Structure formats: C-alpha cells, structure tokens
Amino acid sequence: MLTEKDIITAALNLPIESRAVIIDNILGSLIKSERGEIDALWAEEAEDRIRAYERGEIASVPGEQVFQNIQNILEKDSL
C-alpha cells in the first residue's frame, strides 16, 4: 500500500495539468461533504424568507431596483 509520502512524491513528478486534475478532485471531495449542509441551510433560509413574505413581514423589491442598487454601489466603490 502506498503511503502519503509515496503519493505526494508521485504526484509532484506528474505534469502540471495532471497535478491540477488531482488537486481539483481532492478539493472537490472536501467541498462536497460541506456543500450538502450549506445547500440545506440556504434552502431553509429561502423557505423562511418566503414564509415571512407571505405573512406580510417583509416586502418584495422589484428586480430592476435591486440591480440599480447594485450598480450604484459598484460605481461608488470604483471612485
């Protein structure tokens, strides 16, 4: 069985493209384990916001206004 040191040594001897593929796969496996939990939390947040809107606790904002606000912030920050 290969040790961590053997794997690292072998990986470092690969072409950069191959190392990038390995890194992408390893990082992807780490992110996926957290991704499900994060997605579930965002889904819960979205449902909470929808229910608050339906109860009249929060108002909607037209998309055009949202994008104009973003544009204003970006223009202000670029000065």
pLDDT digit string, tens, across residues 58-69: 999 999 999 999
- What's the distance, Cα to Cα, between the start and end of the chain in Å? 58
Condensed to tens digits (0 to 9), the pLDDT of residues 27-53 reads 888 777 677 788 889 999 999 999 999
Give the predicted TM-score (pTM) of the model: 0.47
The answer to whether the CB of 58 falls within 8 A of the CB of 65 is: no
How buried is 22 (Cβ within 10 angstroms: 0-12 exposed, 13-18 middle, 19+ buried)?
Answer: middle
